[in-house]
């Protein structure tokens, strides 16, 4: 088992376990994340949350990290 890490705005690293082998879906499978630029939370994005088309010629993608505002911070700002 390996781990992927991402540094939040608070400069704290957060990690999640990842698999080296196994099915392409399920726990530990590669998936994109949303890093909240307000609170530093990291949200796992599920299939269907984001649609990407990655052209094979660009290489192998190891991680996809989106930066934005989580639902809680977005809702708090709208009030």
Model pTM? 0.62
Query: For every one of its 79 residues, what pLDDT tens digit does the chain have, with 9 covering 90 and above?
Result: 465 666 666 666 666 656 555 555 555 566 788 989 998 888 888 878 888 777 778 887 777 888 999 999 999 988 7
Instruction: Report the 3 state secondary structure along the chain.
Output: CEEEEEECCCCCEEEEEECCCCCCCCCCCCCCEEEECCCCCEEECCECCECCCCCHHHCCCCCCEEEECCHHHHHHHHC
> 2-78 — its CATH code?
3.30.1490
């Amino acid at each position: 088992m390996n781990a992927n890490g991402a540094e939040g705005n608070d400069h704290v690293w957060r990690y999640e376990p990842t698999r080296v082998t196994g099915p392409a879906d399920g726990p530990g499978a590669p998936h994109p994340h949303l890093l909240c630029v307000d609170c530093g939370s990291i949200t796992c994005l599920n299939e269907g949350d984001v649609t990407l088309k990655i052209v094979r010629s660009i290489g192998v993608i190891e991680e996809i990290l989106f930066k934005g505002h989580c639902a809680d911070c977005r809702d708090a700002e709208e009030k």
